[in-house]
Structure 1
Amino acid sequence: MNSEAAMITILENAHVVDIESGEVLPDRHLVLENGTIREVGEGAASLDKALRIPVDGRFVIPGLIDAHVHATAYTADLSQLPRQSPMYVAARAAGLLKAMLKRGFTTVRDVGGAEFGLAQSVEEGLIAGPRLLYGGKALSPSGGHGDHRSRGMEHEEGAYAQVSLGRRCDGVDAVRRAARDEIRRGAHHIKIMANGGISSPTDRITSDQFCEDEIRAIVEEAEMADLYVVSHTYTARSVARAVRCGVRSIEHGNLLDEETVALMKTAGAYLTPTLSCFRALADVGEASGFPADRRDKIAQVLDSGIRAVEMAYRAGVPMAYGTDLIGPMQERQLDEFALRAEVVAPLDLLRSATATAAELVRMQNEIGHVRAGYRADLNILSANPLEKGVLANFAHHLELTIKGGIVQD
């Protein structure tokens, strides 16, 4: 059912999970008004003319945050995106975003592809979906992870600039212009490709991308706009280069080592592992249409990912929840919980998709907690998420999602 955000909604008899302390606060009521949590109190709330929802002892947690999505990547063959109509891609993206919201994700960070028009459509209620924090197009050097031209292709198709996940820029002046252009378009962060990748046709996993002067120039542009830089990186060497140059958010990090983890901890950098992406590619990549000539790259990073998570977790590096799924594999968005559960405790696993991710996207005073004054982004679960195995079966236990005070159908 839907309710107007301006209406007062009361959640009654709720077990509220305190993300900071790890405590479960029993028999609470939550008063939601104008899209925010007005009150979290004990016992019953005495308010007239309110929509009352009996929670009956179920568990209330913040809405989930996925810090690494590609909302426009409806196909697993990313080289096909530039050949499609931008309007068709937007329609497909609307379906992907609606499905994310149904899984309990109320905020997502897009790190390549989404732009202001899609985010505005969500904010205006034209399409259903999580709050969309976008970076526009990822910046990539020629031949890098954001360059999906084949070896024999000199120029992109005409629609490339509109619907691709990345944009090519080479040299300090060019990367500054590209960063400024994405900032002009309203980017919440700037994404760079600083390492080779799986889906790109002409690079290697081990290749460093962008020289350090280029990375520093992009970081400087972002910081002048009070933004931060997100970096696609696998190898310890590429991660270290990015962190030394001021990158705040490291994506993937599968081939980390202890020395680089210590560097990240000292620098205050965040790690967003994406184990679900590599598992999905290994399991169903071929059936999903992922190009055959790139599947041999998957083995280089698949098994190392969980070891990197374990190293970072032991060292206290803050980790956000991310998935990086493309095409039909996006239905596996909740799998990240089960994959990390092997080495991460339930509370910290839940924090990664709530409070820690909120800190990463600099919205820690708005989302990521069930507190008065925060946005009314909530999930109601039938079981205690702090107990082993519950998060791994999140979809089974999810009973209700509320975004901005509105109950989602």
Structure 2
Amino acid sequence: MGQVLFRNGRLFDGEGSELLEGHEVLTEGSVIKEVSDKPITAEGAEVLDLGGRTLMPGLIDAHFHAMAADPDFAKMEAMPRSLLAQHARQLLEAALARGFTSLRDAGGADYGLALAIKAGLIKGPRLFYSGRALTQTGGHADFRALEDHSAFCFCGQGSHVFGVIADGVPAVRQAAREELRKGATQIKIMASGGVASPSDPIWNLQYSEEEIRAIVWEAASWRTYVMAHAYTPEAISRCVQFGVRSIEHANLIDEPTAALCAAEGAYVVPTLVTYDALHRFGPELGLPAVSQEKLKEVRAAGLTSLELLKAAGVRMGFGTDLLGAMQAHQSEEFTIRAEVLSPAEVLRSATSVNAAMMNAEGELGVVAPGALADLLVVDGDPLADLGVLGDQGAHIPVIMKDGDFVKREGL
């Protein structure tokens, strides 16, 4: 791609709280070359007259599951990986069509999917993948049925797509090193009980201090970080104190724990839309009864967690954690958060905040010189109505990723 000049629009740059009038943006190849409040001269550039529409960075979902074909993880673990990959292709391409140009996969995706996207075999978002999540025996990524024999080795069971059981410091070191060897951009651990797993109550604490610190060290040795599934104050505070950078979900967080996250510079990624979707559609889509019961507690606390995190000044990322067909509701996370947060706060979480959390500050999530040319043109003003980011991308006539038009309608 050569040069493209965007003019006659309003700009949300990913960092501010207002739309900027009279700004022009020039891309060259895969990057943004210039952003100016004065007319840009670029002979030979293709000019897009936005007609007053909004130009903004591509969206980032920091808690996605590309391989999540079904709400029942045990069922998915028994599927052939080739079948799951075909589901993943559809889910990734649909996410890009909604304006999500980057995704952080929280367990299941691997280098194969990332390479398929780079090769153009999948028309999907840029993928930051964790590989398999690390879990202790009986942890949140241990999807064996309760009646399974304890001597049956998980490492040889099914497709073992989403998690790997590792107990003890030597085992977690090896498991982390294995995912990092295969190119994982961060390591995911399970640090508390969860909704989707059969054997662990929400309040269950998972992994010892020594195990978590060992995993954090291994990630740091590769100049990356650990993200941790954690719901309760105790689970969250342990992770933050042991060096975890990104806390996922955190529905049951309390005021002191939110203050600790802020003081330690940890990020928190709420995923409220998944609980709403599981409540509405989970039973008919096959969510197991044990998971439906556990869902009630965490769903009820969702909006309160946003209030506590905002009051404490915690940096909140944007994630969705949706499974299977429920990923169609990905953009509803925007409007759910708007019940507590301002539209600018919500948009920053899905752009510049996520980019900083994912070690891509200045590269993604902003419209600025030197950043990658991941851009959306939106009909309307997302700072006045976050709903313009919904409806499966119907109000996003232009999607650019790496300087190439993924979608271009009417301009």
Give TM-score scaled by structure 1 length: 0.95
What's the CA shift for 1:20?
Answer: 2.5
Distance in 2, Cα, partners of 1:240 & 1:203: 19
- Contact kept, 8 Å, 1:138 with 1:192, in 2: the verdict is yes
Determine if the alignment matches structure 1 residue 306 to structure 2 residue 306: no
Structure 2 counterpart of 1:127, from 122, 125, 144 = 122
What's the CA shift for 1:187?
Answer: 0.8
Distance in 2, Cα, partners of 1:250 & 1:278: 17
User: Cα distance 1:173–1:356, how it changes in 2: closer, same or farther (>3 A)?
Assistant: same
Deviations 1:174-198 (A, max 9, x none): 0011011111111111100000001
Unaligned runs of 5+ in 1: 1-5
Distance in 1, Cα, partners of 2:13 & 2:387: 16
- Counterpart in the other structure of 1:404: 402
Distance in 2, Cα, partners of 1:130 & 1:355: 16
Determine if the alignment matches structure 1 residue 244 to structure 2 residue 241: yes
Determine if the alignment matches structure 1 residue 23 to structure 2 residue 21: no
Structure 2 counterpart of 1:173, from 143, 156, 170 = 170
What's the CA shift for 1:43?
Answer: 5.1
- Counterpart in the other structure of 2:111: 116
User: Cα distance 1:36–1:268, how it changes in 2: closer, same or farther (>3 A)?
Assistant: same
- Counterpart in the other structure of 1:363: 360
- Counterpart in the other structure of 2:145: 150
- Contact kept, 8 Å, 1:14 with 1:55, in 2: the verdict is yes
Structure 2 counterpart of 1:140, from 135, 138, 143 = 135
- Contact kept, 8 Å, 2:155 with 2:164, in 1: the verdict is no
User: Cα distance 1:241–1:158, how it changes in 2: closer, same or farther (>3 A)?
Assistant: closer
Deviations 1:140-170 (A, max 9, x none): 0011101000012133688747552110000
What's the CA shift for 1:47?
Answer: 3.2
Overall identity of the aligned pairs, in %: 41
- Counterpart in the other structure of 2:187: 190
- Counterpart in the other structure of 2:54: 59
Distance in 1, Cα, partners of 2:28 & 2:156: 43
Deviations 1:238-270 (A, max 9, x none): 101111111110000000011111111111000
Distance in 1, Cα, partners of 2:153 & 2:69: 20
Distance in 1, Cα, partners of 2:306 & 2:43: 49
Distance in 2, Cα, partners of 1:392 & 1:297: 31
User: Cα distance 1:219–1:58, how it changes in 2: closer, same or farther (>3 A)?
Assistant: same
- Contact kept, 8 Å, 2:105 with 2:130, in 1: the verdict is yes
What's the CA shift for 1:308?
Answer: 0.6
What's the CA shift for 1:370?
Answer: 0.7
Determine if the alignment matches structure 1 residue 99 to structure 2 residue 94: yes
Distance in 1, Cα, partners of 2:36 & 2:110: 39
Structure 1 counterpart of 2:74, from 54, 75, 79 = 79
Specify the SS of the correspondent of 2:103. strand
User: Cα distance 1:298–1:162, how it changes in 2: closer, same or farther (>3 A)?
Assistant: same
Specify the SS of the correspondent of 1:397. coil
Distance in 1, Cα, partners of 2:386 & 2:15: 20
Q: Which amino acid aligns with 2:127?
A: L
Specify the SS of the correspondent of 1:363. coil
More off after superposition, 316-325 vs 24-33 = 24-33
Matches for 1:279-294 after TM superposition, within 5 Å: 279-294=276-291
Specify the SS of the correspondent of 2:115. helix
User: Cα distance 1:97–1:163, how it changes in 2: closer, same or farther (>3 A)?
Assistant: farther
Distance in 2, Cα, partners of 1:382 & 1:388: 11
What's the CA shift for 1:295?
Answer: 0.7
Matches for 1:203-352 after TM superposition, within 5 Å: 203-352=200-349
Distance in 1, Cα, partners of 2:186 & 2:176: 10
- Contact kept, 8 Å, 1:205 with 1:297, in 2: the verdict is yes
The CA RMSD measured in Å over matched residues stands at 1.7
- Contact kept, 8 Å, 1:338 with 1:392, in 2: the verdict is no
User: Cα distance 1:60–1:54, how it changes in 2: closer, same or farther (>3 A)?
Assistant: same
- Counterpart in the other structure of 1:3: none
What's the CA shift for 1:121?
Answer: 1.0
Q: Which amino acid aligns with 1:404?
A: D
What's the CA shift for 1:126?
Answer: 1.6
**Across the two proteins, how many residue pairs are aligned to each other?**
404
What's the CA shift for 1:397?
Answer: 3.2
Distance in 1, Cα, partners of 2:292 & 2:237: 26
- Contact kept, 8 Å, 1:150 with 1:201, in 2: the verdict is yes
Distance in 1, Cα, partners of 2:399 & 2:30: 13
Give TM-score scaled by structure 2 length: 0.94
Distance in 2, Cα, partners of 1:396 & 1:303: 31
What's the CA shift for 1:17?
Answer: 1.4
Distance in 1, Cα, partners of 2:158 & 2:220: 25
Unaligned runs of 5+ in 2: none
Specify the SS of the correspondent of 1:398. coil
